[in-house]
Amino acid sequence: MTLVQNPSTFLSDRARGVRQSAVRDVFDLAMTPGLISLAGGNPWLDDLPLYELGQIAQELVAQQGQVSLQYGTGQGTPEMRQAACTVMAADGIPDADPDLVTITPGSQAGIDTAARMLGNPGDVVVVEDPSFVGALNTFNTWELDAVATPTDEHGLIPEGLRETLQRLRREGRRIAFLYTIPSFANPSGALLPADRRDEVAQICREAGVLIVEDNPYGQLAFGADPVPPIAAKHRDQVIYLSTMSKIFSPGVRVGWALCPPALQRAFYLSAESAYIHASILSQMLATAFVTHCDWTGHVQRATAEYQVRADALVDQLRQELDPAITFIQPQGGFFLWGTLPQGADTLPLMHEAAEQGVVFVPGGAFSPDDVPHPTFRLAYSFVPGEQLREGVRRLAPVLNGALNR
């Protein structure tokens, strides 16, 4: 008899608590041949200078292998920390100090590090409703209680946040931090206006609450001007996370955190205890992309392609969807967020849609609660325009059909 018959005998309470997310089912479904996936937020890589990158990679191993294949420091290579500052300057943080940067294996690892270093079990993390499913899973893993604060099509509602924080304080809860994605959020696509960013910072400052700002999509703006991150003006109260995943490659697993000086050491010690450091070879390749390749040109061309795809998706949705189904017109990033009338539940529609040859992510995956949600997320970043249109032709009858039940 094998020792492990029943996994739950062995799993920690923490591991057992991890929700089987609907997103995982979606990604299994998305592997079905012939199916059009509007589920995954994969970047468009077609424009990357692969030959040039290949030559750089060869040199990094053949000429610099003694460094690139060796252990490095927990904070990241000085060159990658400088490259992160170059990217942050383009994001609207012109004067980041490389000594306050820690390189991470992606933004997801930055979220995990923030959660492990700031949260005690039972603490609250305040999140947008809806929020990034990967972050919600991380908070769950660290036994943090994600509490949703209201949003509209522009993102966080400052007054709602004030009330949420006051209520939590009245209830005697410890608030570990606010986790927010102010620019072209995953999943809503919302862009938080500059005045609301200042209000959010002010409200958190008054309440003594730290902000963890996650900004993978800020540069991918096409329907609106980019807005500088909260960290641009309110550096001392924000752990700012970003990544090479959407502007270069998610496969290299390189991101970073910019911390307030007083938290910098705790951040990289926490990071080090989890993963030692991000891959040195990856850091060197990502550095070369920023210093030797036309990275800003790549971001511009990729963003133009995302705009073409978003336009095709919106145009086809307007033609096919019942007007009772609304959506936020994307202005940047990878995602479109839609809403059916109150009372609808998009979770069962996911399976119906898969039978019609298209997958999307039901909105409930992005909320900390388990109630039915009438919302859905469509990713346009990875699917060419004509396929997006076909995807909508398959999806619309399923969504429209749910209205008459």
With DSSP H G I counted as helix, E B as strand and the rest as coil, what are the percentages for the chain, rounded to 5?
Answer: 50, 15, 40
Burial of 92 (0-12, 13-18, 19+ CB in 10 A): middle
Which position's Cβ is nearest ligand PMP?
106
Site for ligand PMP in 178-197 (CB under 6 A): 181, 186
Q: Which is nearer to ligand PMP, 230 or 399 (CB)?
A: 230
Question: Coil, strand, or helix at residue 255?
Answer: strand
Q: Least distance from C-beta 186 to ligand PMP, angstroms?
A: 3
Q: Which is nearer to ligand PMP, 155 or 216 (CB)?
A: 216
**Residue from 49, 92, 134, 372 in contact with ligand PMP (CB under 6 A):** 134
**Strand order, beta sheet including 211-214:** 101-104, 255-258, 238-243, 211-214, 175-180, 124-128, 145-149
Q: Least distance from C-beta 240 to ligand PMP, angstroms?
A: 12
Q: Least distance from C-beta 97 to ligand PMP, angstroms?
A: 21
Site for ligand PMP in 93-132 (CB under 6 A): 106-108, 132
Asked whether position 41 contacts ligand PMP by CB under 6 A, the answer is yes
Q: Least distance from C-beta 155 to ligand PMP, angstroms?
A: 13
Among residues 38, 324, 310, which one has the least CA distance to residue 184? 310
Asked whether position 282 contacts ligand PMP by CB under 6 A, the answer is no
List all residues 6 or more positions away from 134 whose beta carbon is below 8 Å from its beta carbon.
Answer: 108, 111
223 within 8 A of 179, measured Cβ to Cβ: no
List all residues 6 or more positions away from 92 whose beta carbon is below 8 Å from its beta carbon.
Answer: 218, 226, 227, 228, 229, 232
Asked whether position 229 contacts ligand PMP by CB under 6 A, the answer is no
Q: Least distance from C-beta 110 to ligand PMP, angstroms?
A: 8
Number of residues that bind ligand PMP (CB under 6 A): 14
Peptide bond just before 228 cis, omega within 30 deg:
no
Q: Which is nearer to ligand PMP, 109 or 340 (CB)?
A: 109
In terms of residues, how long is the chain? 405
Q: Which is nearer to ligand PMP, 112 or 123 (CB)?
A: 112
Q: Which is nearer to ligand PMP, 255 or 338 (CB)?
A: 255
Q: What is the CA radius of gyration of the chain?
A: 21
Q: Tell me which amino acid residue 32 is.
A: T
Q: Least distance from C-beta 109 to ligand PMP, angstroms?
A: 6
Q: Least distance from C-beta 17 to ligand PMP, angstroms?
A: 21
**Residue from 102, 137, 138, 245 in contact with ligand PMP (CB under 6 A):** 245
87 within 8 A of 98, measured Cβ to Cβ: no
Residues engaged in binding ligand PMP (CB under 6 A): 41, 106-108, 132, 134, 181, 186, 214, 216, 243, 245, 250, 255
